[in-house]
Amino acid sequence: MKRGARREARGARRKAKAVAPKVRSKRVARPAAAREIDALRRYIEDAASPRAPRWNANQEDVRRSVLKLVLTLVELIRQLLERQAIRRMEGGTLSADETESVGLALMRLQETITELAAQFDISPAELNLDLGPIGKLL
């Protein structure tokens, strides 16, 4: 190897040493703060503890939600029965007495739904289910 090549190699090694970060031989950890220790302790206790149910709902909210679902389903059935009664009436398969009887039953059912919804502060607009991309139920 020629003299010039040796110098270049030495120079490259020196530059590499200068660019490379110095590694400390001794690393000292900083002391943890009390709040960090408490947070870590809570995390470990939470991970080790048996899981409680995720849903701890208020009893009144559960009752209201169930009633809302039931009333929505009853309203859906009432509307289906009403449409069927109208089709049968237009088709002539219902007599005048049967038409009157079905009409009164559907009106009473509508009143009952409205009264129950009012008792639990549920508006008629809330008696519907969102079916996502399909749209609303009613």
Q: Assess contact for 138 and 92: CB atoms under 8 A.
A: no
* % of the chain at pLDDT higher than 70: 75
Higher pLDDT, 103 or 9: 103
Shortest CA distance to 101 belongs to which of 112, 88, 91, 117? Answer: 88
Question: Is it the case that residue 22 has pLDDT exceeding 70?
Answer: no
Q: Does the pTM of the predicted model rise above 0.85?
A: no
Q: Write the CB contacts of 11 (distance below 8 Å, at least 6 apart in sequence).
A: none
Q: Assess contact for 138 and 72: CB atoms under 8 A.
A: yes
pLDDT of residue 88: 93
φ/ψ of residue 64, rounded to 5? -65, -40
Alpha-carbon separation of residue 102 from 75, 83, 84 (angstroms): 15, 11, 10
State the average pLDDT over residues 53-63. Answer: 76
